[in-house]
């Protein structure tokens, strides 16, 4: 997508052909800084410290991390070490393990001297596949938006609520939840996005608002507690969120607070859609609430806030009394019964095992 008129993806291979460039998302919206990853360890740290984040981008970064590792040591031991280093970088987004499994399946059977080149080629494919998938999500989600437009007066605004950042910054390009929004905007639909700020890291306020603003999509940042009020007053036509892992039973794990939005949507008859690429489905997990691991992050994300002062300095301030304990669960699980539909690259599916298995039989076979 465009940043100041220039096309950017969230991750790319640099001109030298081997190092990897990525937008440092910890610095947005204050500074646009590109980081250079030159080792497997760099990729692992980028994922762990959330220089890159968002399930599909975590997977893409891990794939390039594996390629960087193969330049250093392409032996069987090197391959195993790279896998183990990267797979533990963050626990919840299944795209990380999916990408690493794909890379290992390509690399393990071939001669170590061929592994570095093959790793870059497979990582490039994973990256391009992400963009293709998101274009499929865009088309399928767009049909839902069009159906809402058809019920409105000509030119009347369509209000979408989203949580966290499932935008192009969270993927390679286009995003998942934002893909139908960008397409609708490009096709001239009068679309407006309610952007949950998404405490504690504020991915909505910092990243989604930044993306939408650069793309000219009308939006309004709201405190996380506002969605229910807006829904009660008919100010939300549909909610679209992303996800870090969808269980075989259709339960959806996403950024903390998603569940509360789904409850509010259910109570107000607002359609609640989840946009996902197929690598986010985990057919090995049958019950999302019980079995998806929920990342717990540093309490500093809750106690401290960073922002830009009027004179341009970045400053971190504490907003919680010294000594008060805090909890920082990064994700929650929305039960399938609260999800209206799953927007995938192969259509809008019912959130249940039968629909997921029928649409993605090759994934269910691979999970056995």
Ligand X SMILES: CSC[C@@H](O)[C@@H](O)C(=O)COP(=O)(O)O
Cα dist from 361 to 18, 152, 367, whole Å: 35, 38, 10
Cα distance between residue 143 and residue 339, in whole Å: 17
For 126-157, give the DSSP string: HHHHHHHHHHHHHHHHHHHHHHHHHTSPTTPP
350 is in an annotated binding site: no
Asked if residue 243 binds ligand X (CB under 6 A), the reply is yes
Nearest to ligand X of 129, 203 (CB atom): 203
The verdict on whether 244 is a catalytic residue reads: yes
254 is in an annotated binding site: yes
**35 backbone dihedrals φ, ψ, rounded to 5°:** -100, 150
Residue with the closest Cβ to ligand X? 242
Asked if residue 206 binds ligand X (CB under 6 A), the reply is no
Q: In the bound complex, what is the minimum distance in angstroms from residue 325's beta carbon to ligand X?
A: 22
Of 68, 164, 247, 285, the one binding ligand X (CB under 6 A) is 164
Contact 347, 332 (CB under 8 A): no
**165 backbone dihedrals φ, ψ, rounded to 5°:** -125, 105
CB atoms within 10 A of CB 77: 9
Cα distance between residue 200 and residue 255, in whole Å: 10
Residue whose entry in the numeric block shows the structure tokens 């800084």: 33
Asked if residue 203 binds ligand X (CB under 6 A), the reply is yes
* Dihedral class, residue 155 (left if φ above 0, else alpha if ψ from -120 to 50, else beta): left
Touching ligand X, residues 80-119 (CB under 6 A): 93
Nearest to ligand X of 52, 270 (CB atom): 52
Of 170, 184, 221, 343, the one binding ligand X (CB under 6 A) is 170
# chain residues binding ligand X, by CB under 6 A: 18
Q: In the bound complex, what is the minimum distance in angstroms from residue 258's beta carbon to ligand X?
A: 8
Please give the annotated binding residues, written as ranges.
Answer: 53-55, 90, 203, 254-255
Query: Site residues (CB under 6 A) for ligand X?
Result: 53-56, 93, 164, 166, 170-171, 175-176, 203, 242-244, 254-255, 330
Please give the annotated binding residues for substrate, written as ranges.
Answer: 53-55, 90, 203, 254-255
């Amino acid at each position: 997508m465009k940043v100041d008129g220039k096309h950017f993806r969230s991750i790319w291979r640099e001109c030298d052909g081997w190092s990897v460039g990525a937008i440092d998302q910890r610095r947005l919206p204050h500074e646009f800084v590109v980081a250079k990853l030159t080792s497997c360890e760099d990729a692992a740290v980028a994922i762990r410290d959330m220089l890159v984040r968002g399930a599909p981008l975590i997977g893409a970064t891990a794939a390039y991390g594996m390629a960087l590792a193969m330049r250093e040591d392409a032996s069987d031991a090197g391959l195993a070490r790279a896998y183990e280093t990267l797979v533990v970088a963050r626990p919840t987004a299944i795209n990380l393990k999916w990408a690493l499994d794909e890379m290992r399946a390509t690399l393990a059977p071939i001669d170590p001297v061929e592994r570095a080149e093959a790793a870059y080629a497979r990582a490039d494919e994973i990256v391009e596949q992400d963009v293709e998938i998101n274009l499929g999500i865009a088309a399928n989600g767009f049909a839902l938006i069009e159906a809402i437009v058809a019920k409105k007066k000509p030119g009347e605004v369509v209000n979408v609520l989203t949580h966290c950042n499932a935008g192009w910054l969270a993927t390679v390009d286009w995003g998942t939840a934002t893909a139908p929004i960008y397409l609708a905007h490009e096709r001239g639909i009068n679309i407006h996005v309610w952007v949950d700020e998404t405490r504690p890291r504020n991915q909505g306020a910092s990243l989604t608002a930044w993306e939408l603003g650069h793309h000219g999509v009308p939006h309004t940042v709201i405190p996380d507690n506002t969605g229910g009020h807006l829904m009660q007053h008919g100010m939300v036509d549909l909610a679209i969120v992303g996800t870090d892992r969808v269980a075989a039973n259709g339960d959806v794990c996403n950024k903390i607070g998603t569940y509360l939005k789904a409850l509010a949507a259910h109570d107000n008859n607002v359609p609640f859609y989840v946009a996902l690429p197929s690598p986010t489905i985990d057919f090995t997990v049958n019950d999302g609430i019980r079995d998806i691991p929920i990342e717990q992050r540093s309490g500093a994300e809750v106690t401290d806030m960073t922002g830009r002062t009027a004179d341009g300095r970045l400053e971190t301030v504490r907003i919680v009394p010294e000594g008060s304990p805090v909890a920082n669960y990064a994700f929650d699980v929305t039960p399938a019964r609260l999800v209206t539909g799953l927007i995938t690259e192969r259509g809008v599916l019912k959130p249940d095992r039968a629909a997921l298995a029928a649409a993605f039989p090759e994934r269910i076979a691979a999970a056995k």
